[in-house]
Structure 1
Amino acid sequence: MSRFSLSALYLSGSIVTAALAVSAPAALAQHSSSIAMALPAQPLGASIRELALRSGQTILVDADVVEGVNGPALQGAFTVEAALDRLLAGTGLVWTRIEGTIIIRKGRGSGQDGESGEGASLLVTGSRIRGAPIPSPVMVLDNRVVRDSGLADLGDVARSLPQSFGGGQNPGVGFNVPSSTGGNVGGGSSVNLRGLGSDATLTVLNGRRVPYDSARQGVDISAIPLAAVDRIEVVADGASAIYGSDAVGGVVNVILRRDYNGVETRARIGGSPDGGNFQQQYGVLAGSRWNDGGGFLTYEYGRNTALMTNQRKYGRIRPDLTLLPASRRHAVAGSIHQDISDNLTIELDGLYNQRTGEFSYPTSGAANLSVSRITQSFDSYTLAFSGAARLLLGSWELGLSGSFGKGRTYFQGDTFINDQFSSRAFGRYNNQTITGEIAGDGPLFALPGGDARLALGVGIRANDFAIFRGVGNINNARPSQDSVYAFGETSFPLVGPAQAVPLMHSLSFSAALRYERYRGLADVVTPKFGMIYAPADFLDIKASWGRSFRAPSFIQLYSIEQAILYPITTFGGRGYPAGTTALLIAGGNSDLKPEKARSWSATMALRPPALPGASFEVSYFQTRYVDRIVNPIPTSALALVNPIYARQITYAPTPEQLAAAIAHASQFLNGAGVPYDPAKVAAIINRANINAGRQTIRGIDAQLAYRTGLADGNIEMSANLTYLDSEQQLLADGPVEQLAGRLFNPPHWRGRGMIGWSKGGFRTAATLSTIGGVKDVRSTPALHIDGMTTIDISARYRFGEEGGLLRGVELGLSVQNILNALPSVVATSLYYDTPYDSTNYSAVGRFIALELVKKW
């Protein structure tokens, strides 16, 4: 199913919010000026495209929805709303407006003539009120934009988004990246908005939670096959008042296709001319629509070969090192919806993903895999089901929804000496999530700008986790975490266009409050307030303020606590008698509390009347993130040297204090090389996890878009640019450290722009991406690491009904990083250190892909 954007607002390289079940135009219509139209009776898609170009407004519609549907002739002066009403009359299609974007799709009972969207349900990402405007910064990316960019899966999409940092759970993240910044355990990909951590970005599927990935509280977005996705939507702002834990940096909502009609097969192969990372992807999509429902099912298979340093310029620095692991995956996704009656609808979504892979690295100064190496392998899967029943009671909608998901990540490391197997280490992470919710929303009373609306709901969530490292292993654990919650949200449109108030086209306020209770952990209350003021129909000014939180992860809570005896010199101790020791306490902490954040943003969105088809949006954002869970003494050798660690140290401990510390720990180890003697222990050093860290982030997002006609076709231009500044303080008495612009942290600047042209079945696009440089502060003076700028081009052609044997065939070619840019080299100290910043830059280089699609 292709989806085309008929609009003035085409935000490539950005992601936006607007999930919809079906539409409610009567409640959401915005007044606009009349446009002279002279359209003949013709295919409906052509009429909608012309309306979008003439009005300069965004209109999104699935090409399959309007395929074979003819529109009536349209003569005279009409508002956009009136023109749509006439064009869609009798088609069973309905429209709605979300954040200035008009979306057209099939309505309930779409087989009936004259169907309207009145009373139908519309949910917006970032709000629980149907059709509510969103005061937070928003971005949108649909399936067609992804394909125009030449991207293969949602992991690529996440890494291409300027607002997302490549640290966290992502393939190719090297061992020299700090564990607090990122890692690669199961080969998955996560979104990491603002660089706050993949565990501080909530990723949901059709608005509902899916299981976490491996040990971190992140979600593998690449588990969802691209063919199943209608669009991706993001609110890049704190959203815990709406969604609960984890939505500190924002929320990413992956919305599946509503349904599909027919069968489509797809094959894509690609590779780098310099070698490595040869990719194959094959898939089939099948579905059907009927008068009162529809559904689809898709299967996708993908595999890629490994990328090694020897295949790039890095081989002379760190030979035989895997930069990207070899992997293969099977993924299945589907969705079905059915109208049981005129006011009751049920829907069910499903997802399964299974992935295997491996990579190797040398373990000796010989830097030769045949001399000594470790081969790491992983085998992971994700299974998720969710469903909902929605009941319309007049103007109110009641919903009962639930989800079940589980994931497993098995990892294994085999050591080889002289190509002979030597030893094995392995482990397994299991995650399970069950949710249930009852919610409803509807109008309360009339206000001058429209109806005041209310949403209320209650729900439960149960998370289970297990870590298994072998029979009888002390690290084995099976903790669980339950929570109950209640929320309320209101929307007050105080002024509307009909009132004709000077310099106040519209004015609305919103408020949300959520209470969540975690059994045995904490009670958390998170509010959020918003305002949208439009002095004219072409200018919106938005502001939001709210609190968010992240519950501690299972690993942070329940990792074993170890008491380890070391020589006092290990921690920088000097002047002590020979044989003096110190007791180190390290590991999890079951007394941890949730991390908390306070965020606010201000946004201006402009659609200049003098330039139809153009839009500009700029946002300022700021988040203060406190009580972050940290290791309070990151450098053991400075524990007794730096006075900022004094609160974590007990000097001259008594025998009773030592006995209590050892008894509290799960394991006591003696690494001092001498027998344990309480009289010779000079200090207890506690570096177990604590709530102490603070982070502040601030920055600016800018989005530009323009669409117009050119050479009997349509040209679309867009840009998404972000500037980020962030800093961190691990302890209250510690120094404030810069994060953004430093090695293995987000750069200050990232941007992505695209220009595309389409005519008939032909589409072509060019994308420019730039990632700013960073400083390597591991040396004095600090070294500047150059950023990267890449150019991608793509072209697709779809044969029409007159194509004969090629009817329904689409051919595509894309070349990414056409100039073959590669990351700058960074200093390394170990033979398995990745010799570039693997959180920000890619060593794939030029990549060429061919795609063949056939609709049957």
Structure 2
Amino acid sequence: MASASTCEAWAATPRSSSSTGDGWRGAGNKGDFTDLSSIPTIAVERVEILLDGASALYGSDAVGGVVNVILRERLEGGELRVRGGVGDGGSPREGLLGGAVGKTWSSGSLLGGFELYRREALVSDERDFAATSDLRVWGGTDRRDTFSFPGNILRADPATGASTPYWAIPGGQPGVGLDPASFAPGAVNRFNQNQGVDLLPSQRRSSAYLAWHQELGQELQLSGDLRHSFRSVKVTSGPLISTLSVSRNNPFFVSPSGATSHQIQYAFAELPNPEIRATTESLSGTVGLEAPLFGDWRASGYGAFAQEIIEGRTTGSLHSLILAEALGNRPDSPATEYSPARDGYFNPFAGQAANAPATLAAIGSGFSRTRFRSRVASVNAQADGSLFDLPGGEVKAALGAQVRRETFRRSGSTYVATVAPQAIDGLQTERTVAAVYAEVRAPLIGDANRRPGVARLELSAALRGERYSDFGDTLNPRVGLQWTPIEGLLVRSTYGESYRAPALQELAESRSNGPVRLASGADRILSLALQGGNPDLGPETATTLTAGVDWTPAAMPGLKLSATWFSTKFKDRIDRPAFTNRTAALTDPRLSPFVRRISPASNAADLAYITALLAEPFTSTDQGVFAPTEYGAVVDMRYVNTAGLKVSGLDLQASYAWAAFGGKMSVGASGSRLLDYEQAITPAAEYVEMLGQPNFPAKTRARATLDWSRGGLSLGLGGAYMSGFRDLLGHSIADQTTLDAQARWTTVGGGLWEGLAVSLNIRNLFDQRPPFYDNPTGFGFDPATADVVGRFVSIQLTRSW
């Protein structure tokens, strides 16, 4: 379903009433989304999706729609699940253990569930289409880096003055005894920057869920739930690179041209790739009370609290101060644990592993730590019931109010350029949101007053007003109409307006500058990326229209057809355009307002500009140290309010079931066709169609299924299709079709095996690789659409009692 990609609010509740999901907000290092992986899947009863903007019902976060997760409320007995799976070639492997147990009595119920999950990392070396950045074997370009091992010595280009690789350091030698004749002019070493990189991180997760319900007499009902999850992730990133400044102070120095110093583009292949480890702990809960008022009106109130703590640690980063000591560019500092006289100088002229372990460990000893804590607490009250009767039926209404408090805190430390770890700029911010809302459902025509061509007609309307302590007031309506001209045919439409205030971190995130290599044609240009929050951000809004038809013809029992057209127009959308589309940041003319091309080697003003930026205290060197003259661009990747985004499309669904081969056969098909995905980055820019381009949604997605069941046996096949696209040079990227298979056997009758079910699932049965894309990043696929796992086989055992 295409429009699901625009959903920005999630709700999860053990009851299908009017919960706005506040107990689930506050996830992520911006505290602005819900982490669905924190919910034990065994506790999920069903998932509902609202396609249109739903701010009037669910609050200002629901700009593009809502995914509503309905959790189990009651269970008598228990259930246990065990699942194991493995990808093609034995990786990645995953395992899951989950269980739930419940008890019901005449006035209440208690349910508890847990889930343990583990998945191994998938390394680029384990997939041939990702193992190398030399894409010529697939018909693409050699994307290997000139920051290499052995390194490349730079010289000033006679035409431009820019530093470019000119002498390759010879391989297979220990870096001693070299002379000028050892270096071949015009030769360039290249390095596979994909080696050792995790395509998917390793992950461990535990989650638990507890829900209860108790009637207090015949009038009051008390209910609540408590959820906890903990997840740890480890990912290995790309090798460290840097431009090394080497002079005669380095005992291994040799010059191919007789110069007293050189710049060397270098990849630290002797060091392990940096690792990023993160843990996420979330705790949330709700307590609610329901009571009758008058007539059929009932009142309900609940309090909700959610907290999430994310701690991250990056190790193996480059320590620029120690590197300078190891190269002989600065005196030995007694404040550091490294001493070149004792541990040895770093030799950048080696063509094989030759540096001392102590030297390498000190150079790669940089690290950073971060800690994010987000909290959301709310108090909610609602009343719902009938207002009056119309000829078509009762008019029902719901009224409610809410007060919500959001807080976000960040802290951390870094050790990449100082003699001791230093605290990073902390962040603590908060806001209060008060809301009132009303919803009315009016059956204008029903069984009592139906007429030819109008069997039923129902109007619904909702209105929500919110007051932000930092953004003032907003009022968001939603109107829906459902018309049944004849039995079995439903025509529906909705109109909604939505609003999203910037997340707290989007406003107050600290500034940071860092080097990044961006594609420009066949070249990769060293650029300085400016990142951080924007205190001048305003809210984004959206207007959504949907129209659809559902048909279940009485003449063909088992047939269901559905079609939905949707259109959402975002205004002042909060985004980071140059970051989101960074593979084209230097080539896409729409992004030119965020890019400043510079030539510091030949332009004094550009040199002063980039030198000042590099001297700022929030400029990071943990990914490499580079001379000012090497930079070719400065790219602003900070948050901005873009002009807008227009998304429209068509969703189609069909299913049919009938008796066949002594059992039940069913077929189903669903498809989504995006008609528009037009983006305007700045108010002065025109809207540009982005469909069918890398890093953006595919135009067409479709899926078809064929299932058969008899007694306790069920078999199924599913096929998925995704349309291809064209890259920025107009090269075609192929469509992709994959096939899935499933078999399930459930015991029937009593006995020892009662309640046992075994299922076999095979995803991507024929191991279709992602369509090739000559990606400037060096990975030969589009990460926005590719499935890098390939064939994946899993077996699950379920035991219920």
Instruction: Give the TM-score of the pair, scaled to structure 1.
Output: 0.68
From 279, 285, 292, the counterpart of 1:392: 292
SS for the counterpart of 1:536 is coil
Structure 1 residues 668 and 752: alpha-carbon distance in aligned structure 2, compared to 1, 3 A threshold? closer
Q: Which sections of structure 2, spanning at least 5 residues, go unmatched?
A: 134-193, 242-265, 319-352, 414-420, 521-527, 598-608, 629-633
Structure 1 residues 548 and 643: alpha-carbon distance in aligned structure 2, compared to 1, 3 A threshold? closer
User: Which letter does structure 2 place at the counterpart of 1:399?
Assistant: S
Name the residue aligned to 1:558: 508
CA distance in 2, matches of 1:326, 1:563: 28
Q: Does residue 707 of structure 2 align to residue 756 of structure 1?
A: yes
Alignment check: 8 A CA contact 2:595 2:635 kept: no
Larger radius of gyration, structure 1 or 2? 2
User: Which letter does structure 2 place at the counterpart of 1:354?
Assistant: F
Q: Does residue 222 of structure 2 align to residue 346 of structure 1?
A: yes
Name the residue aligned to 1:431: 374
Name the residue aligned to 2:731: 783
User: Which letter does structure 2 place at the counterpart of 1:356?
Assistant: S
Alignment check: 8 A CA contact 2:493 2:547 kept: yes
Structure 1 residues 586 and 257: alpha-carbon distance in aligned structure 2, compared to 1, 3 A threshold? closer
Structure 1 residues 746 and 225: alpha-carbon distance in aligned structure 2, compared to 1, 3 A threshold? same
SS for the counterpart of 1:500 is coil
Q: Deviations over 1:381-419 (max 9, x none)?
A: 221111221113331111101211111121222117888
Name the residue aligned to 2:438: 488
Report the Cα offset of residue 250 of structure 1. Answer: 0.7
SS for the counterpart of 1:214 is coil
Alignment check: 8 A CA contact 1:241 1:487 kept: yes
Q: How does 1:523-538 map to 2 (within 5 A)?
A: 523-538=473-488
Name the residue aligned to 2:393: 450
Report the Cα offset of residue 448 of structure 1. Answer: 1.0
From 471, 476, 481, the counterpart of 1:521: 471
Name the residue aligned to 1:512: 462
Name the residue aligned to 2:27: 213
Q: Does residue 642 of structure 2 align to residue 699 of structure 1?
A: no
Report the Cα offset of residue 328 of structure 1. Answer: 1.1
User: Which letter does structure 2 place at the counterpart of 1:476?
Assistant: G
From 683, 705, 716, the counterpart of 1:732: 683
Name the residue aligned to 1:324: 200
Q: How does 1:472-483 map to 2 (within 5 A)?
A: 473-483=423-433
SS for the counterpart of 1:274 is helix
Q: How does 1:39-118 map to 2 (within 5 A)?
A: none
From 686, 705, 714, the counterpart of 2:664: 714
- Higher alpha-carbon deviation: 515-524 or 462-471: 462-471
Report the Cα offset of residue 806 of structure 1. Answer: 2.1
CA distance in 2, matches of 1:600, 1:637: 32
- Higher alpha-carbon deviation: 533-542 or 471-480: 471-480
Q: How does 1:363-402 map to 2 (within 5 A)?
A: 363=239, 371-393=271-293, 394-402=295-303
Alignment check: 8 A CA contact 1:475 1:559 kept: no
Structure 1 residues 343 and 826: alpha-carbon distance in aligned structure 2, compared to 1, 3 A threshold? same
Report the Cα offset of residue 306 of structure 1. Answer: 1.1
Structure 1 residues 784 and 469: alpha-carbon distance in aligned structure 2, compared to 1, 3 A threshold? farther
Report the Cα offset of residue 500 of structure 1. Answer: 3.4
CA distance in 2, matches of 1:563, 1:363: 20
Name the residue aligned to 2:136: none
User: Which letter does structure 2 place at the counterpart of 1:231?
Assistant: R
SS for the counterpart of 1:468 is strand
Alignment check: 8 A CA contact 1:561 1:666 kept: no
Name the residue aligned to 2:524: none
CA distance in 2, matches of 1:399, 1:373: 54
Instruction: Count how many residue pairs are aligned between Structure 1 and Structure 2.
Output: 625
Structure 1 residues 411 and 205: alpha-carbon distance in aligned structure 2, compared to 1, 3 A threshold? farther
Report the Cα offset of residue 794 of structure 1. Answer: 1.2
Q: Percent identity?
A: 27
CA distance in 2, matches of 1:508, 1:404: 36
Alignment check: 8 A CA contact 1:211 1:431 kept: no
RMSD over aligned Cα, in angstroms?
Answer: 3.6
Q: Does residue 102 of structure 2 align to residue 287 of structure 1?
A: yes
Report the Cα offset of residue 504 of structure 1. Answer: 0.6
CA distance in 1, matches of 2:747, 2:438: 50
SS for the counterpart of 1:497 is coil
Alignment check: 8 A CA contact 1:644 1:734 kept: no
Q: Which sections of structure 1, spanning at least 5 residues, go unmatched?
A: 1-161, 165-192, 573-582, 650-657, 675-683
Q: Deviations over 1:62-118 (max 9, x none)?
A: xxxxxxxxxxxxxxxxxxxxxxxxxxxxxxxxxxxxxxxxxxxxxxxxxxxxxxxxx
CA distance in 2, matches of 1:774, 1:545: 32
SS for the counterpart of 1:499 is coil
User: Which letter does structure 1 place at the counterpart of 2:700?
Assistant: W
Name the residue aligned to 2:536: 591
Report the Cα offset of residue 341 of structure 1. Answer: 2.6
CA distance in 2, matches of 1:765, 1:367: 49
User: Which letter does structure 2 place at the counterpart of 1:236?
Assistant: L
From 406, 414, 418, the counterpart of 2:307: 406
Structure 1 residues 853 and 638: alpha-carbon distance in aligned structure 2, compared to 1, 3 A threshold? closer
SS for the counterpart of 1:357 is strand
From 693, 717, 721, the counterpart of 1:742: 693
CA distance in 2, matches of 1:825, 1:427: 37
Report the Cα offset of residue 295 of structure 1. Answer: 2.3
User: Which letter does structure 2 place at the counterpart of 1:163?
Assistant: A
CA distance in 2, matches of 1:288, 1:238: 38
CA distance in 2, matches of 1:522, 1:465: 20
Alignment check: 8 A CA contact 2:693 2:725 kept: yes
Name the residue aligned to 1:123: none
Q: Does residue 448 of structure 2 align to residue 498 of structure 1?
A: yes
Report the Cα offset of residue 211 of structure 1. Answer: 2.9
From 207, 222, 246, the counterpart of 2:37: 222
Report the Cα offset of residue 673 of structure 1. Answer: 8.8
Structure 1 residues 358 and 751: alpha-carbon distance in aligned structure 2, compared to 1, 3 A threshold? same
CA distance in 2, matches of 1:363, 1:265: 43
Alignment check: 8 A CA contact 1:323 1:834 kept: no
SS for the counterpart of 1:313 is coil
Q: Does residue 754 of structure 2 align to residue 807 of structure 1?
A: yes
CA distance in 2, matches of 1:629, 1:316: 35
CA distance in 2, matches of 1:708, 1:349: 41
Name the residue aligned to 1:94: none
User: Which letter does structure 2 place at the counterpart of 1:263?
Assistant: G
Name the residue aligned to 2:495: 545
